[in-house]
Amino acid sequence: MTVTSPSSISSALARLGLAEENSGAFAGAWFEPSGKVVHSLNPATGEPIAAVHEVGREDYERVAQATAEAFDAWKRWPAPRRGEVVRQLGEGLRRHKEDLGLLVTLEVGKIRSEGLGEVQEMIDMADFAVGLSRQLYGLSMHSERPLHRMYEQWHPLGPVGVITAFNFPVAVWAWNAMIAAVCGDPTLWKPSEQAPLCAVAVTKIAEQVLRANDAPPIFNLAIGDRHTVGAPLSADRRFPLISATGSTTMGRSIGKVVADRLGRTILELGGNNGILVTEGADLDLALRAVLFAAVGTAGQRCTSTRRLLLHRSIASDMKQRLVKAYSSIRIGDPAEPSTLMGPLIHARAVEDYRKALEVARQQGGRILYGGNVLDRPGFFVEPTLVEAVPHMPITCEETFAPILYVFEYETLDEAIALHNSVPQGLSSAIFTLDMRAAERFLSVDGSDCGIANVNIGTSGAEIGGAFGGEKETGGGREAGSDSWKAYMRRQTCTINYGTDLPLAQGVHFDV
């Protein structure tokens, strides 16, 4: 029994304003672009959901110019008024949560509860951004010169290019667009080619809010591939900031192009996240966390756990528990409420999974569970456990699939060194009841990642913290904390309200 009958799907799509064929170009108004028509496929069935008309090169220019012009008006709106627009956007998302969550499930194969969770994350971001719109604080400093005052203030930066990955087809836009909006920056969104319908649906919700507020077109959309949209956007000097989420290969390429024009980037790239489980850890807790982090989203989160480092004393027990738990994972239609694991995104991802396991075997890995592609429509594979030996080269790569490499270790030093030996540095965790081990993991000699957790898995971060990672993960930070500063330009102001002109550092320059 499935909850997604064809008629309930078409009603949900209609409520989101989606048609059988949709424009992929929004610049304050939807227009018919000149690119090709692509069908978005449901990865659980391989069947088309609806089509999107992609932009051509001239269409990109039209959307980019509208975004640049919107900045002139939007930057003058007081920040709390900008926040009010974002508040209404959050309300719009609340109203459409069920339908948009379902669309995430249909288009990228996330299970129902994760699809809904992703929309909730957008709503959380809206709430956060609304509060932030009254808290874009600068510091004031004591001047070393008499009768002088010094402070810093934050101005809007300019139009922001937002390039997103398939696996968070709506939330990552919200991380960027909502913060950018309260900071006074319009956005041009280039979504993943794998999730165009989610982008159209979100932009339609945003469009209603902009119209109701007579606001400039600050949430624009250009759907196309890396050549038609990604490349011109990265090179476009009208966009002082490019926030790009995706693979490290993509980040390397975009990073170079933006650096060449001395623009700013926020790069949110691949992860290769590890969990350490120490002697005496709460294994029940660790097991549940590892399952969600390694199998959830079919291993297609940037924060998915890909490496498990077990202390030798608990390794055999934990492996047995894992094999048992993996064998009870319900794989299938992600729209069915009891399903725990849906499909991979496309056939290429299945091929990557297969190849990675072949290489793992050649490099000395032993499959403890899974390893097979499922013989059914769509792109389904088994969640897989591989007993690994340290420094198997394949374990240093991110394979975007539910493969978990399991290592054993003797000492915490050895485990931390192994943990940090990969090129990526996004998320990490330790399961331990030993306070010294926990603190060590969080210390300067511990995890080298942007995120380090204790007795919590590597995935499922809250929006209140700054999200991002080090090394080949790109160094960007998004969402909470003071991530907003990347979307603004800082200005240091010194005011002399005296009648003399003293120079800093005691320099004299008298004529």
Q: Which residues are catalytic?
A: 268, 302
Beta strand 384-387 pairing with 403-409:
parallel
- CB count within 10 Å of CB 213 equals 15
At closest approach, how far in Å is the CB of 446 from ligand NAD? 20
Interaction between residue 38 and ligand NAD (CB under 6 A):
no
Contact 276, 282 (CB under 8 A): no
The secondary element (H helix, E strand) that includes residue 317 is: helix 312-327
At closest approach, how far in Å is the CB of 73 from ligand NAD? 28
Interaction between residue 271 and ligand NAD (CB under 6 A):
yes
Convert residues 273-302 into a mask of x (bound to ligand NAD by CB under 6 A) and - (unbound): -----------------------------x
Interaction between residue 165 and ligand NAD (CB under 6 A):
yes
Beta strand 160-163 pairing with 241-245:
parallel
Cα distance between residue 289 and residue 35, in whole Å: 44
Encoded tokens for 165:
């990955």
Cα distance between residue 3 and residue 384, in whole Å: 28
- For ligand NAD, which stretch binds (CB under 6 A), given 72-80, 93-101, 246-254, 500-508? 246-254
The secondary element (H helix, E strand) that includes residue 126 is: helix 112-132
Among 99, 124, 268, 352, binds ligand NAD (CB under 6 A): 268
Among 113, 253, 420, 455, binds ligand NAD (CB under 6 A): 253
Convert residues 174-193 into a mask of x (bound to ligand NAD by CB under 6 A) and - (unbound): ----------------x-xx
Among 167, 339, 428, 459, binds ligand NAD (CB under 6 A): 167
Q: Give the number of residues in contact with ligand NAD, rule: CB under 6 A.
A: 30
Nearest Cα to Cα of residue 404 among 353, 454, 450: 353
- CB count within 10 Å of CB 154 equals 18
Cα distance between residue 131 and residue 80, in whole Å: 9
Cα distance between residue 117 and residue 115, in whole Å: 5
For ligand NAD, the binding residues in 302-331 under the rule CB under 6 A are 302
Q: Where are the alpha helices (DSSP H) in 157-268?
A: 171-183, 196-212, 231-235, 248-260
At closest approach, how far in Å is the CB of 302 from ligand NAD? 3
Beta strand 384-387 pairing with 366-369:
antiparallel
For ligand NAD, the binding residues in 385-444 under the rule CB under 6 A are 398, 400, 426
Cα dist. 18→12, 101, 200, 466, 475 in Å?
9, 14, 8, 33, 36
Closer Cβ to ligand NAD, 90 or 270, answer by number: 270
At closest approach, how far in Å is the CB of 351 from ligand NAD? 13
Closer Cβ to ligand NAD, 30 or 400, answer by number: 400
Closer Cβ to ligand NAD, 242 or 412, answer by number: 242
Closer Cβ to ligand NAD, 167 or 278, answer by number: 167
Interaction between residue 269 and ligand NAD (CB under 6 A):
yes
Interaction between residue 234 and ligand NAD (CB under 6 A):
yes
Interaction between residue 118 and ligand NAD (CB under 6 A):
no
Question: What SS3 class is residue 450?
Answer: coil
For ligand NAD, the binding residues in 56-85 under the rule CB under 6 A are none
Closer Cβ to ligand NAD, 113 or 253, answer by number: 253
At closest approach, how far in Å is the CB of 313 from ligand NAD? 32
Beta strand 273-277 pairing with 427-431:
parallel
Contact 229, 223 (CB under 8 A): yes
Helix 97-108 / helix 79-95 crossing angle, nearest 10 deg: 70
In the chain, how many H helices and how many E strands? 14, 23
Among 162, 163, 202, 418, binds ligand NAD (CB under 6 A): 163
Convert residues 342-381 into a mask of x (bound to ligand NAD by CB under 6 A) and - (unbound): ----------------------------------------
Beta strand 451-454 pairing with 384-387:
unpaired
- For ligand NAD, which stretch binds (CB under 6 A), given 30-38, 226-234, 325-333, 351-359? 226-234
Footprint on this chain of ligand NAD (rule: CB under 6 A): 163-168, 190, 192-193, 225-226, 230-231, 234, 245-247, 250, 253-254, 268-271, 302, 398, 400, 426, 469, 473
